[in-house]
Amino acid sequence: MKLNRQFSKKETVLILILTFALLGFIYYFFTYDYLESQLRNYDTTDLDSQIALEQQRAARITQMKQDIANGTVAYSGEVATYNNLSNEMTELNNIFSGTSVYNFDFQEPEATDGTVRRNINITFTSNSYAEAENIISSLYSCKYRCLISDLDISAGSDSGILQSGPVSVSMKVTFFETLEGATDTSGIIVDNSSDGSSADGTSSSSSISS
């Protein structure tokens, strides 16, 4: 049986409308609605907020390092008479008492033109970025004059995020003392070179850990 009947214009328009409606129905339920549900499942609002916060923290760390490089985080406090190590140790222990892990690596003191420099390589782990910042600030305002350099702050977990969790810090702290009025100058390396190296080309260190 063959149908040779031609559709009228009204019937053709109606068929086209029904066809487009069916295509629209299929697109909405099988494509558009599916994509929308996937986008809702992968909402990035929290991620964007976290990235913005980490960028702010990174900017603060960069500014802190620039301040140290420019010498603004240095030279506050009293220049004590040599040997002031026990008092400096008391200050350090008070500052780092709240940290979970810390290590002090003391270098032999060096003297140039009556000024003694005592370099200490310090590493520590704090419970948060804010706590690490407070410790560095406490060092800056320490009772005894010191210089902070070679500062490095990193996340203490594998996530690489500073927003929360422990923070690992390494830095060098130089305490300054004077030979004026000193009654004992033993243990000092006298620096007579222009490049800041020790006169005998040797150095030694002692280490104290928490």
Domain contains 153 = yes
Domain contains 60 = yes
117: domain CATH number is: 3.30.70.60
| pLDDT tens-place string over residues 135-183 | 988 988 889 999 988 888 887 655 555 556 788 899 999 999 999 988 8
- pLDDT bin (cut points 50, 70, 90) of residue 86 is very high
| pLDDT tens-place string over residues 68-81 | 666 544 456 899 99
pLDDT at 40 over 80: no
d(CA 140, CA 53) in angstroms, rounded, equals 25
Residue 169 CB burial class (10 angstroms; 0-12, 13-18, ≥19): buried
Domain contains 34 = no
Segment 91-99 mean pLDDT: 90
Domain contains 192 = yes
How many structural domains is the chain composed of?
1
Domain contains 166 = yes
In 3-state terms, what secondary structure has residue 156?
Answer: coil
- pLDDT bin (cut points 50, 70, 90) of residue 196 is very low
Tell me what the pLDDT averaged over the chain comes to.
76
Domain contains 178 = yes
Angle formed by the axes of helices 129-140 and 45-69, nearest 10°: 10
Segment 57-73 mean pLDDT: 64
In 3-state terms, what secondary structure has residue 15?
Answer: helix
Q: Residue 93: what pLDDT?
A: 92
d(CA 8, CA 58) in angstroms, rounded, equals 72
Domain extent for 156: 49-209
Q: DSSP secondary-structure letter at 32?
A: I
Domain contains 24 = no
Domain contains 36 = no
